[in-house]
Structure 1
Amino acid sequence: MSRTPRRRRSATTAAALVLTLLLSAATTASATASDDQGPLLLTVTVPGDEQAPPGEAEDGRLTDAELRWAVSVQAGSESHLAGQCNFLVAGRPGTDGDTRGGRIWTDADRTLYHGTAGDVRVVRTVGRGADATQRTATFGTRCTAPDGRPVSYAAGRTTGAEAVLTGGTGTREADGSVRIRWKGSFTVVFYGGLVYWWVTDPELRLDAAGNGALTGTLGGYGTDQQDMTRWEPLPSTRAQLVTFTGRRLDPASRGGHLVPDYCGVRTSTGGRVPQFREDPAGSCWGSFPQAFVNFHQLVGEPEFWYSTGTRDEIKTPANVSVSFDAAESVGSAGPGDGGTGGGGDGGNGTAAPPAAVPPATTGPEGSGGGSRAGTGDGATRGGTGTTPDTDAGAASFLPVAAATLDAAGAALIPDGLIPGGTTGRRLAVLTAVLLVAASVAILGFRQGWLVLPFRRRDP
């Protein structure tokens, strides 16, 4: 978008005033020399300053841009650790970011959580459809879905929370290139508090072709699986959080939603769990940028940032929402779809928020090699302690046995054998019940306390 710079307008105004004075002097001299000539009337129009949109100066400078990012669906989902969740925090935990050790946050740790810190907020959607509203997250709601129920991987319930930063400063040029930087931090907490890391002062850079990256300074604390008493500050590391290919933002628009690169991106795992390079149902294989993965080698959970064959459908980076003026926000960008760029949307680089991808069966978990945090991406889903949703009025054979097996969930039935959805769960439970009944029948016939109806029992 081309605008006249303030300096050029000031020069134009000054020139107009000088011209007015010169013409006035010439007119006076002419009138003195010839009294029979009437006065020369001149009209000089001085251009006034155009009112710039709120949050933006005349020359394309931005003063209050907004950034929204949920990091990934997994960052707001149920944790591998039983009964815990992953969540976002505004700023850094507590007063200085140091919790004095990795531990699960309880009610006694409420002061560690912040929903707002300076120009940073963590917001979440409450309600559905026309009744949906966005509210600042709290310690009590950090693990709840929009419907108020606890997050559940099996049921596909996540918080939908995202970090929102305002006050971004920078420029957007007429050719579509963008450079915006925000001040502030937000923290990503995994395993209910055992592991966390933060992003400080993120910056977005896009060239005229829509290629670029969102970068930030990474920090946090690291521990060790074999010695959880170890608690070491991690070095501040400036790194790419996500990259973009062919994702232009129209300079004449309010902003847009950027789809990060992920699908097909290869990464080096440094001897950890190898990258899984087969597309899971409803998603794709890929990775966050290499420097980002390298940093998480220190945090202790790099497997969450590239495909491993476990929960890969919720690992893709969330779409990034950018508004040139926070007062005219383009809203949430929605979850990520793992796009590889290329301008498939006509070159605008924006994407309508896609629907959340339901969990897909990715095979038995346990591919992880354990993380420094003590519980890695390879933790079994059977340890989550959650059960899938069931219809309240559903009836089943052998209700006691079925209820017992369903309560045990994946601890008794391998995940790889469970079809997705409630119907698939019932089928798996019923199959298990029938297998148990068949085993009991075989044992009964062998022991003699069960006989076929046409066979006479020996006296």
Structure 2
Amino acid sequence: MYPTSGRTRPDRTGRGRGRARGAGVGLAAALGLATLAVPGTAAAASRSIDHATFEWGVNAVWQGAAANGSCNQFVAGIGDGTESTYKTVDGNLHLIKRGLDGSAVTVTADDRCAEMAPGDAAQRGLWVDGTGTTDPDTGATTVQWTGALTVNSYGGAVPWYVKDPKLVTDGDGTGAIYATVGGYTSSLADPTTKTPLPPQIGVRVLDLKDVSISGDDIAATPVYEGVDYYPLNKPDDPDSGRRATSVITDEVKQANPHWGSWPTPFVDFQYRTGLSSYWHSSGLSADPKKPPLPIELGLAGALPATQPLADAPKITAQPVGVAAVTGEDATFSVTATGDDLRYSWQRSPAAAPDWKTVAGAHSSTLTVPTVTAADSDTSYRAVVTNGQRGTYSTGAGLTVGDAKPLAVASGTSATTVFAGNDVTFEAYFTGYPTPKYKPQLSTDEGKTWTDLAGFGDESYHTILGVTEKQNDALLRILADNGRERLAGTPGVLHVLPKPTTPTLVRRPNDQDALPVLDAAKGFSVLALAGGYPAPTPAHYDAVVPAAVWSARGSSYDGTGAVAATEVDGSGFDAGYGYAYVDVAAGALDPSVRYVLATYSTDPADRSLDAAVPLVLSGQEVVASTARVTLSRSSAAFGTALKATVAVTRAGKAAAGKVTVGIGSRRYAATLDKAGRASVALPRTLGVGTYRVSAAYAGNGTTKASSAATTLRIVKATAKARLAITKKPTSHKTGRAAVRVVRTASGPVAPTGTVRVYFVRGGKTASVAVSVRKAALQALTVPKLAKGTWRLYVRYSGSAQYRAIGKTAAGRLTVTR
């Protein structure tokens, strides 16, 4: 329903006329009823009618899309549902559409299905030049029109028509419209097959009540509510008698206080078309659309001037839900494109959709003032029109609550993935209003953060295809509810090198030792998988004795597996996924070592083989000793440094992987045959003291171990170089170039300020210049008097480089 902002609907004919109202019970008048005289008075002469009008839209069922995906469409004349019979004029019957502002709109074949409002094509059949008589004293009126209106139900699958309608009214406020009706019966299962129905003459199509005539105006209300329908025992046989009970059940009547039916003769006809229940209440979802639409009647009218169909407004930004604080305002907005746009807003309660217009709301923004708990869970939508056509926005919900500070319920967990895999991270917050969320990443230990997306409704985010450069990055979710902003606890992203062959890794996200499993209890074992073919074929995830796995040879069919699950590979994405097996309590022997393995369903195919050791509680695991040494324990900024890890077990070299950590950074390496591994430390470590840790993850036979040492990074030394490129005189300035370089090669060039001094006797002149990126920096040498000047430079230093005091840099002789 579209509000009209209090504007009176324009006259549609150019002459005064009435308008139908509502729906209710009524009395059917007899066809051809004679004019009545008032007893005791002389009957006045009947008035002739030559230009009566009758405008009809049937009901809302035939104004929207059909259930088969087509549109229900009006046709002028008797149509058979095909394009060849489509017309917009038939005799005195004309097709028009009604704009939201009441304007008459031209109908063409191309836009016949265009909606004037969502779900409403506003199609009308308009009969003009009706002829008849009316009695000015009693109001008894008879008007006959010519021309047929066809409704192509289901896009033409079931066409039916109303031809040559006739209005007959009593002088007691009741009346009816009669017409010849006809059409086809069809089946939705085979809409190409239509069987014509014989026309029926004088069928009562509409019952009318509250009929009144004032001059040329006729007011009349179609009857529907409270009318029962008792169907024929045999729809095709009028003499078969009727059922004793109404087709509208008591349950339907109780559920719908506005239940009703169209006139019995017309519904009888529609039962023969197969469109039976569209004409009376049935308890189905279409019931609200079944009552007759208001009709337009006039005794002296004409075909109105029509205007072309305008483009409907388009909504480009929908209103979004609002979480408001009790006592504050809530604001909704909508953005639309089109000409002459007009706005209104509607509100619906929480219980069920029941949209009501918000008084005084006529802009693209709606403010709900001083909200309370009673406003919570309501919805609002915008109505955007251009006068002729309109559209609704989607509904936007309003929640109301007391303000509560944001708090982190759970932060982002540390995550381990293979390079090339996707990773999803999340965090949860409490507080009100409910915040929006932004995912962020840091590669400098949390000093700065990069936004991975804008604020949105989801508190999780997926990074597609992580890289090794993102190893040890921090991930977090930032929450903002418009009142405050809070960052979630970050989690470390561990990125393992991209495997080239099937690989399983089983370790917790903090890269510590392998978890120990209790064989006496049932458990699920999970391992990160990567390096598999893409798409990944069907295979087995299984727990297998380590000895059996080692001896499997070139063919293996799962013999000896304690627990195995066949998977189809669909859970793998680009060769990445998880191996997962449920193990029953007591299924494993604590004295036997096991592996979690994957292998092909084809015993001869070894391309999917991969395994990772399992450690059971009670098994003997040899202790290990880790030791970490540095190539230098104290070094200047930018120095190339190396950390070496050595791991032994029972006095012999251990095997497996180690992780070197410095700050939040982690570097993985594999022990060589001597049980050693070296890792190059980043040369960009800033000045300060660092803890360098080494963690050995252990394996199925060796316990994990760790060690740590301290690294001190000090400022590096630098040199300043000065060159006079153009000597000054006592009358002209000169030019010089200065550069600051570190004494040893480094990753970052010195920056800062260099000041150059010119000294002669008791006179001193100086010039300062900023240096960056080890480039030559030009400077202007001031005018100097004749003589020999001593040159000095001084460097201010930076966060990575020591300052240089005032240092001699040569002499300059000025001769002119």
TM-score scaled by structure 2?
0.31
Match of 1:453 in 2: none
**67, 73, 77: which one pairs with 2:60?**
73
Q: Per-residue deviation at 1:425?
A: 6.8
Alpha-carbon separation, structure 1, partners of 2:134 and 2:291: 28
The more displaced of 72-81 and 190-199 is 72-81
Q: Name the SS for the 2:110 alignment partner.
A: helix
Q: Does 1:198 align with 2:161?
A: yes
Q: Contact (CA 8 Å) 1:115, 1:136: kept in 2 or not?
A: no
Do the aligned residues in 2 keep the contact of 1:241 with 1:289 (CA within 8 Å)?
Answer: yes
2:170 equivalent in structure 1: 207
* Cα distance in 2 for residues equivalent to 1:295 and 1:241: 10
Tell me, yes or no, if structure 1 residue 287 matches structure 2 residue 249. no
**2:300 aligned with 1:325, yes or no?**
yes
* CA spacing shift, 1:418–1:269, aligned 2, 3 Å: farther
Q: 2:93 corresponds to which residue?
A: 120
**Within-5 A mapping of 1:97-136:** 98-99=80-81, 109=83, 111-126=84-99, 128-129=100-101, 133-136=103-106
Which residue is 1:261 aligned to? 223
Question: Which residue does 2:619 correspond to in 1?
Answer: none
SS in 1 for 2:271: helix
* Amino acid paired to 2:86: Y
Task: Name the residue aligned to 1:242.
Answer: 206
1:60 pairs with one of 22, 25, 47: 47
Aligned partners of 1:214 and 1:242 also within 8 Å: yes
Instruction: Give the alignment partner of residue 123 of structure 2, picking from 161, 177, 199.
Output: 161
SS at match of 1:295: helix
Question: Whole-Å Cα distance in 2 between the matches of residues 448 and 266 of structure 1?
Answer: 68
Q: Which residue number in structure 2 is paired with residue 184 of structure 1?
A: 147
> Counterpart of 2:54 in 1: which secondary structure?
strand
Question: Given residue 91 of structure 1, which amino acid in structure 2 is its aligned partner?
Answer: G
TM-aligned CA deviation for residue 68 of structure 1: 0.9
Q: What CA distance in whole angstroms lies between the structure 2 residues aligned with 1:176 and 1:206?
A: 8
Q: For 1:211 and 1:81, how far apart are their aligned partners in 2?
A: 38
CA distance in 1, matches of 2:207, 2:97: 25
2: CA distance, partners of 1:231 / 1:92: 15
Cα offset, 1:395, TM superposition: 5.0
CA distance in 1, matches of 2:254, 2:144: 35
Contact 1:262 1:317 in 2 (8 A): yes
CA contact 2:49–2:130 (8 Å) conserved in 1: yes
CA contact (8 A) 1:257 1:319 kept: no
What pairs up with 1:292-441 in 2 under 5 angstroms? 292-309=266-283, 310-327=285-302, 392-394=317-319, 419=353
* Alignment size in residue pairs: 274
Alignment equivalent of 2:109, drawn from 139, 146, 158: 139
Identity, % of aligned pairs?
A: 25
Pair 225,298 (structure 1): closer, same or farther in 2 beyond 3 Å: same
1:135 offset after TM fit, Å?
A: 2.0
- 1:99-155 superposed Cα distances (whole Å, 9 cap, x missing partner): 5xxxxx6xxx3x4321222211111124x44xx6312312222212226xxxxxxxx
**1:349 matched residue in structure 2:** none
> Residues 347-398 of structure 1, C-alpha deviation per residue, up to 9 Å, x if partnerless?
xxxxxxxxxxxxxxxxxxxxxxxxxxxxxxxxxxxxxxxxxx998344589x
Q: 1:294 to 1:177 in 2, by over 3 A?
A: same
Identify the residue that residue 601 of structure 2 maps to in structure 1: none
Higher share in helix: 1
CA distance in 1, matches of 2:167, 2:93: 16
- In structure 2, relative to structure 1, the CA distance for the partners of 1:270 and 1:225 (3 Å cut) is farther
Q: Is the 8 A contact 1:92 1:198 kept in 2?
A: yes
| CA distance in structure 2 between the aligned counterparts of 1:113 and 1:191, rounded to whole angstroms | 15
Whole-Å Cα distance in 2 between the matches of residues 80 and 227 of structure 1? 15
Matched residue of 1:167: which SS? strand
CA distance in 1, matches of 2:207, 2:114: 30
Q: Tell me the CA shift for residue 285 of structure 1.
A: 0.6
In structure 2, the gaps of 5 or more residues are: 1-44, 236-245, 307-313, 323-350, 356-378, 381-393, 398-456, 459-522, 527-614, 617-816
Query: Counterpart of 1:137 in structure 2: which amino acid?
Result: V
Show the counterpart of 1:92. 78
Contact 2:133 2:142 in 1 (8 A): yes
Task: Note if contact 2:177-2:205 (Cα within 8 Å) is conserved in structure 1.
Answer: yes
Distance 1:139 1:229 in 2: 21
The question of whether the paired residues in 2 share the 8 Å contact of 1:121 and 1:136 is answered with no
Which of the pair is proportionally richer in strand?
A: 2
Is the 8 Å Cα contact of residues 113 and 138 (structure 1) preserved in structure 2? no
- 1:5-28 residue CA offsets vs partner (Å, 9 max, x unmatched): xxxxxxxxxxxxxxxxxxxxxxxx
Aligned equivalents of 1:226, 1:391: Cα separation in 2? 39
Structure 1: how far apart are the matches of 2:525 and 2:395?
Answer: 35
CA apart distance, 1:60: 0.1
Alignment of 1:217 with 2:205, yes or no, is: no
Residue identity opposite 1:112 in structure 2: T
> Secondary structure at the residue paired with 1:176?
coil
Cα distance in structure 2, aligned partners of 1:189 and 1:289: 21
Q: 1:327 to 1:447 in 2, by over 3 A?
A: farther
Q: Report SS of the residue matched to 1:275.
A: coil
Distance 2:303 2:216 in 1: 7
1:299 to partner: Cα distance = 0.7
Call closer, same or farther: CA 1:165–1:426 in 2, change over 3 Å.
Answer: same
Change (3 A) 1:159 1:229: closer
Residue of structure 2 in register with 1:438 after alignment: none
Cα distance in 2, alignment partners of residues 319 and 233 from structure 1: 30
Cα root mean square deviation, aligned: 3.7
Distance in 1 (CA, whole Å) between partners of 2:152 and 2:316 is: 32
Name the residue aligned to 1:41: none
Question: How far does the alpha carbon of each residue in 1:386-443 deviate from its partner, in whole angstroms, 9 at most, with x for none?
Answer: xxx998344589xxxxxxxxxxxxxxxxxxx97566769777xxxxx99xxxxxxxxx
Which structure's CA Rg is the greater one? Answer: 2
Question: For structure 1, which runs of at least 5 residues remain unmatched after alignment?
Answer: 1-57, 100-104, 148-155, 332-388, 398-416, 428-432, 435-445, 450-457
Q: Distance in 2 between matches of 1:91 and 1:425?
A: 41
Whether the 8 Å CA contact 1:77–1:86 is kept in 2: the answer is: yes
Q: Which moved more, 1:291-300 or 1:254-263?
A: 254-263
Partners of 2:142 and 2:525 in 1: how far apart?
82
Partner residue, 2:608: none
Q: Greater shift after overlay, 290-299 or 271-280?
A: 271-280
Distance 1:395 1:169 in 2: 55
Structure 1 pair 418/391, CA: closer, same or farther in 2 (3 Å)?
farther
- Superposed counterparts of 1:1-16, under 5 Å: none
Equivalent pair of 1:418/1:425 in contact (CA under 8 Å): no
1:270–1:328: structure 2 CA closer, same or farther, 3 Å change rule? closer
C-alpha spacing 1:229/1:114, structure 2 compared with 1 (3 Å):
closer
How many Å apart are 1:274 and its aligned residue? 3.9
Kindly indicate whether residue 173 of structure 2 is the aligned counterpart of residue 173 of structure 1. no
- Cα distance, 1:313 vs. partner? 1.1
